[in-house]
């Protein structure tokens, strides 16, 4: 069950990556079309929506992978027992807010769906379609934080800690800015 959840969360990481790749392709396409003298008006809107999709779909995967930055100074030196308590507190606070965030964006996008808002740019599609990325992305983040919370309560090391330790042990710092 939990394994399947992780598969879904990581699959959305791949979806997010596909949108990064999509941004690359659309940007290149637009650049070449511009050189060839063609109109590329709508590409800006598409790139914006794809960027948002890349940002939101991958949130849970990024979180699990330990790439969300936090201030380690306060908690990393704690004894294992206190560290566990600190992780629980951080996950409860973070998870609660992620849940609120999901609720807020859903309520708003639901309104946008009900009223049939249409995008004002050059591509007149319904606004809720690109906006689904933030609804789904924040939902997955919320679920992922709850999942990690239960893992820590059961006494496991959270994925986001294990992933970073494993990566740095390999000498891979490519994901640290």
Q: Which of 156, 165, 166, 176 touches other proteins by CB under 8 A?
A: 176
Q: Give the x/- contact pattern for other proteins in 43-72, rule: CB under 8 A.
A: -x--xxxxxx-xxx-xx-xxx-x-xxxxxx
CB of 141 to other proteins, least distance (A): 9
Q: What is the 3-state secondary structure (H, E, C) of the chain?
A: CHHHHHHHHHHHHHHHHHHHHHHHHHHHHHHHHHHCCCCCCCHHHHHHHHHHHHHHHCHHHHHHCCCCCCCCCCCCCCCHHHHHHHHHHHHHHHHHHHHHHHHHHHHHHHHHHHCCCECCCCCCCECHHHHHHHHHHHHHHHHHHHHHHHHHHCCCCCHHHHHHHHHHHCCCCCCCC
State yes or no: residue 30 binds other proteins (CB under 8 A): yes
Footprint of other proteins on 1-20 (CB under 8 A): 13-14, 16-17, 20
CB of 5 to other proteins, least distance (A): 18
State yes or no: residue 109 binds other proteins (CB under 8 A): yes
């Amino acid at each position: 069950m939990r394994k399947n959840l992780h598969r879904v969360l990581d699959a959305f990481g791949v979806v997010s990556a596909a949108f990064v790749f999509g941004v690359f392709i659309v940007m290149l396409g637009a650049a070449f079309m511009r050189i060839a003298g063609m109109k590329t008006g709508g590409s800006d809107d598409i790139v914006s929506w794809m960027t948002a999709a890349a940002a939101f779909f991958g949130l849970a995967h990024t979180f699990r992978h330990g790439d969300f930055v936090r201030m380690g100074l306060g908690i990393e030196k704690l004894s294992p027992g206190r560290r566990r308590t600190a992780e629980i507190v951080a996950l409860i606070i973070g998870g609660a807010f992620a849940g609120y965030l999901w609720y807020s964006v859903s309520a708003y996008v639901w309104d946008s769906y009900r009223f049939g808002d249409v995008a004002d740019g050059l591509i007149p599609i319904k606004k809720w379609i690109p906006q689904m990325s933030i609804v789904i992305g924040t939902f997955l983040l919320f679920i992922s934080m709850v999942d990690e919370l239960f893992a820590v309560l059961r006494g496991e090391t959270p994925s986001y800690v294990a992933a970073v330790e494993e990566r740095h042990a390999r000498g891979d710092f490519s994901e640290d800015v």
